[in-house]
Structure 1
Amino acid sequence: MRFPPLPHSIDRSGRATITLSLPGQPAVKGQTGMGLSFTDAAVKSLEADAIVTSIFADSPLPTIAAELDLATGGQISKLIETKEITGKKGEVTLLLAPPGLKTAVLAVVGLGKPDALDQGTVLRSFSAAAKQLSSKPRAKVALAADPRFSEPFAEAAVTGMLLGSVGSDLYRTKKGRFPFGELVVSGIAPAVATRGEVLANAMNLARHLVNEPPSEIYPESFAAAAVKVAEQSGLAIEVWDQARLEAERCGSLLAVARGSSKPARLVILKYMGGPSGQAPLALVGKGVTFDSGGLSIKPTDGMKTMKCDMAGAATVVATLQAIAALKLPINVIGLCGLVENMLSGDSYKLGDVLTARSGKTIEVLNTDAEGRLVLADVLDVALQHDPARIIDLATLTGACMVALGNDVAGLMTNDQALCDLVRSSADTVGEQVWQLPMFPEYGEQIRSDIADIKNVGDGRWGGAITAAKFLEEFVNGKPWLHIDIAGPSYFDSPKPWLDAGGSGCLVRTLVEVVRRYSSGAV
């Protein structure tokens, strides 16, 4: 994907600024390329290339599955009797050319025990079905949902269907994944299904940005992609170029960018859906579009997936797109610091002392601890908008993956109420997060003898927390939460429900946070 150059203007001070502000909230163009339609037709009358329905383990067939079972002469029940179908979580069984139905394939999705059902199980199970079905082109796929599904479960089912059918094969000449031409939804209210589509589009946007190679997504092109999202979503957007960043004294962010031929950018997206004058919620994303480690260079294996080091920024843009499409009654500002961390004769060096935008000085002892240097300045820019609370997302540390593994994001905070809101939201939508401590002793590890702070702690231990303590230095006491998404933001190998590559993690959690936040939950 190639993006056109951004329009810009230069003010009297000589600072170049790129600004776009569009009124209204136009419909967001889908990222999936699919059409979504609805039907009230009897399930046995549905005409589609495939029909997808669900069952539970060790339970009677739900209404829709029972109707399909009857239409096929009891095929589903026979397979359950022989234990070919168990209904366990994520199990997908394809019945080919089922008699009595106007479809070539009937996909039966297992959801596990009904009393243990949650949104995450629903999403992943239906996504697994979509992944299997999308291995070949299908013009029309029907989702025959259980009418007993609650709205959140129905929403998650649609999201899963639109998520799993989109792959990571952006540059393969022979495609392995074929998004459905049309998804026909039965048994789900259109408003609920549309919300599921919005979330899928946002997650697929984040995945797409992460999956693009670093030759295609770099600070300027990422900013151009954000402008396109703003145009489609009715968001206001401002992009700071190199001259503006220098004028704003973003010395910490600019130091990281010095080794690259690609100039840095800072993107500010604004959604003002709440009351005039309401203090916004600020979402801040790390956008290192490629991380070589700088002079503290990574080994080859450590560098292979470093196109994903901008997943925090991708998540912020995708979340703003979803918030705008859902027209949530809240003011939200999204900020993305965009750099490449490369090597050259001008690369920042170990022993350098940087002056951040806030005026705080930083001793550099590891150029591969660069994300926190980028966020230091972006957090300070966020403060000038006087946000009520700040949430930042970053693929910040391998230490968080050592502590929590590849599937769990780490939470670190100075405000327990905000952390509880995010954790509860993640639990609701079925994403895994875990809080790590922020004891004052960790902050002592980043004290420097020659500057205010240093960019790494003492020794190897507690690296995720000392990185968070570094960030805390730049929030000026505002309620703030740091989410380290180094593990779950990128799948090194495929999951049963999603291809390898960008995962789109935490988009649904953040949307749930904003939903609750706008209703006065915190």
Structure 2
Amino acid sequence: MSASPAGRVPQTLATAEAARDVTADLLLIPVWKRDDAGAELAALDSAAGGVFARLRSRGDLTGKAGECVVLPDLPNVAADRAVCVGLGEPGELSRAVWAKAIRTGVRKATGKADRTVAALLTKEVAEAVGLRNAAEELASAAVIAGAGPGLYKKEPKRFPLQSLTAVLSDTADVQPAEDSLERGAKIGAAVNLARELVDRPAEDIYPESVADRAAAFAADIGLGCEVLGQEELEAERCGSLLAVNRGSSRPPRVVVLSHLKGGDGPTLALVGKGVTFDSGGLSLKPNEGMKDMKCDMAGSAAVLGAMAAIAGLNLPVNVVGYAGLVENMVAGNSYKLGDVLQTRQGTTVEVLNTDAEGRLVLADVLDMAVTGGSWAKPADRIVDLATLTGACVVALGEGVVGGFPGVNSDGTEEWWAEVQAAFEASGEEVWRMPMSDSFKSLLDSEVADVKNVGPRYGGAVTAAKFLEHFVGTVPWVHLDIAGPAFRDKSGADMASGGTGVGVRTLVKLAEAFGK
């Protein structure tokens, strides 16, 4: 595996040259769902002899959101071919719709190596989404589209682009667009890092290999890095995390990455569940439930990707990323149902299901973030990400993150509001879940302070209430990403496998936190 957090990214640039004169293998043309083409498309249509108008009149070009119409040859246009990307109604264009549409279009160029893409970034798109946002999403899409899950194929199906050009109508927009393209490429590379870590199988991705990869790219981009192994975790009394890993031949790791560019300002902690493979332990999963469990470290992958982006963007903020890395395997020394575990915090946990292991890992790592140590000072705010429960997928489906807000010591949910705003700014989707104290008693144990599972129903909430035991009064939000972290099948806008969900939101959150 490459040590780089980015992999290959295309050269990005912006130009105010007429779209018809821009040389590229593929020209992306945004199209609205309306008869009025807009000034930029009208000029292009005039140069091409009215081809767009004819397609409109025949109903072959509707502009419906997500529609892609490939034009193999356009008269009097320098690009080899064009793709018209539907945006829907002008008043309904959001950042998320733009990002999905442009990803769908760019993927048309990534089936062959060393392709060049130009994209018409019209004034209307810039006004609807924001020039910088539109350019950032364009570059991010170009990077993400060039990577797929076929890491072990003799002949890959996806290839990185050679270059990406944003075509603008105003020279004053060129420099801000170029800045945003560069930023978007870095974020796209961070998303791809998270995707790659999820897509690689457990034979390649295990606690030591992830820690080695993190340490290598941290050194390359200037992140502080501390790796805690078996002995250090025993010294830290991480009995809960260590129990989960007990049945594995691979030793556990906790990786702590530090980006401390915020001076004396507060510290944001990002905590990720990193079960690099989850067999379920003695509560063994069936074959169907286990085959994709390389994805059970998507929370840690998102944290590592976000930290790479935060460092690459040199954000003026203090952020510490924690990845709790274990394998949940079956052996003679596996932890057992009925065991009582001693967490780092001192809370005892009765184990009633060894497949509810992610919360046991997070219990110790959250406490590390709360108390701090040689790796970092105590956190002032915490967000954790975990592929924690199937119950959250049942509740929200496969495209939405479950957000579980902790209550601040002053009784408010101010931190949740900031996290929610970061989701809105990133274009990722979250839904606030209940955190009523009525769920807390469902974890009461007769033999320990708490048990690791509640009854069958409300499992996503009882899992979050379990985690709440370990954050004290620090403002905290739990994000259950079990649904959107992994795709079984490729869609028009993204390949199957890891999605990198959470990376964009964490970058937006860190950026706002630094202000």
Question: Fold match, TM over 0.5?
Answer: yes
Corresponding residue for 1:313?
300
Equivalent in 473, 480, 491 of residue 477 of structure 1: 473
Confirm or deny that 1:163 pairs with 2:150.
no
| Aligned AA (2:474) | K
Corresponding residue for 1:14?
none
| Aligned AA (1:333) | V
The C-alpha deviation readout for 1:294-346, integer Å capped at 9, x for no partner, is 00000000001100000000000111111112222210010010000000111
How far apart, CA to CA, are the structure 1 residues paired with 2:41 and 2:203? 48
Compared CA separation, residues 66 and 229, structure 1 to 2 (3 A): farther
Corresponding residue for 1:301?
288
Structure 1 residue 29: deviation in Å?
6.5
Corresponding residue for 1:433?
430
Confirm or deny that 1:110 pairs with 2:97.
no
Instruction: Single out whichever of 136-145 and 298-307 deviates more from structure 2.
Output: 136-145
How far apart, CA to CA, are the structure 1 residues paired with 2:195 and 2:464? 25
8 Å CA contact retained: 2:109, 2:115: no
| Aligned AA (1:440) | D
| Aligned AA (1:98) | L
Confirm or deny that 1:250 pairs with 2:238.
yes
Confirm or deny that 1:261 pairs with 2:249.
yes
Confirm or deny that 1:328 pairs with 2:309.
no
| Aligned AA (1:456) | V
| Aligned AA (2:280) | G
Corresponding residue for 1:357?
344
8 Å CA contact retained: 2:5, 2:190: no
* Structure 2 SS opposite 1:109: strand
Confirm or deny that 1:466 pairs with 2:462.
yes
State how 1:5-404 maps to structure 2 within 5 Å: 30-148=6-124, 149=126, 150=130, 151-187=132-168, 189-275=177-263, 277-383=264-370, 384=372, 385-404=377-396
Corresponding residue for 2:410?
none
How far apart, CA to CA, are the structure 1 residues paired with 2:6 and 2:514? 25
How far apart, CA to CA, are the structure 1 residues paired with 2:151 and 2:80? 28
Structure 1 residue 160: deviation in Å?
1.8
Compared CA separation, residues 228 and 80, structure 1 to 2 (3 A): farther
* Structure 1 SS opposite 2:83: strand
Q: Could you state the TM-score of these two structures normalised by the residue count of structure 1?
A: 0.92
Equivalent in 503, 508, 513 of residue 512 of structure 1: 508
How far apart, CA to CA, are the structure 1 residues paired with 2:217 and 2:89? 40
Confirm or deny that 1:498 pairs with 2:478.
no
Instruction: Single out whichever of 295-304 and 33-42 deviates more from structure 2.
Output: 33-42
* Structure 2 SS opposite 1:377: helix
How far apart, CA to CA, are the structure 2 residues paired with 1:59 and 1:211? 43
| Aligned AA (1:411) | G
Structure 1 residue 495: deviation in Å?
1.5
Confirm or deny that 1:453 pairs with 2:450.
yes
Corresponding residue for 1:20?
none
8 Å CA contact retained: 2:25, 2:79: yes
Structure 1 residue 154: deviation in Å?
2.4
Structure 1 residue 59: deviation in Å?
4.9
8 Å CA contact retained: 1:273, 1:329: yes
Corresponding residue for 1:13?
none
Compared CA separation, residues 499 and 159, structure 1 to 2 (3 A): same
Q: Which sections of structure 1, spanning at least 5 residues, go unmatched?
A: 4-27
| Aligned AA (1:251) | G
* Structure 2 SS opposite 1:493: coil
How far apart, CA to CA, are the structure 2 residues paired with 1:517 and 1:462? 32
Q: Report how many residues are paired.
A: 493
The C-alpha deviation readout for 1:144-171, integer Å capped at 9, x for no partner, is 2114412212221222222223221111
Q: Could you state the TM-score of these two structures normalised by the residue count of structure 2?
A: 0.93
How far apart, CA to CA, are the structure 1 residues paired with 2:236 and 2:488? 38
How far apart, CA to CA, are the structure 2 residues paired with 1:233 and 1:313? 18
The C-alpha deviation readout for 1:356-382, integer Å capped at 9, x for no partner, is 111111110000000000000000110
The C-alpha deviation readout for 1:167-212, integer Å capped at 9, x for no partner, is 2111111221122122223225211111111111111111111101
* Structure 1 SS opposite 2:74: coil
- The percent of aligned pairs where both chains have the same amino acid is 44
How far apart, CA to CA, are the structure 1 residues paired with 2:231 and 2:426? 41
How far apart, CA to CA, are the structure 2 residues paired with 1:269 and 1:238? 7
The C-alpha deviation readout for 1:203-254, integer Å capped at 9, x for no partner, is 1111111101110010000111111221232110100011111111111000
| Aligned AA (2:295) | C
* Structure 1 SS opposite 2:447: coil
Compared CA separation, residues 2 and 200, structure 1 to 2 (3 A): closer
Instruction: Single out whichever of 203-212 and 100-109 deviates more from structure 2.
Output: 100-109
| Aligned AA (1:137) | A
Structure 1 residue 279: deviation in Å?
2.3
The C-alpha deviation readout for 1:5-56, integer Å capped at 9, x for no partner, is xxxxxxxxxxxxxxxxxxxxxxx86434422233343221111111112121
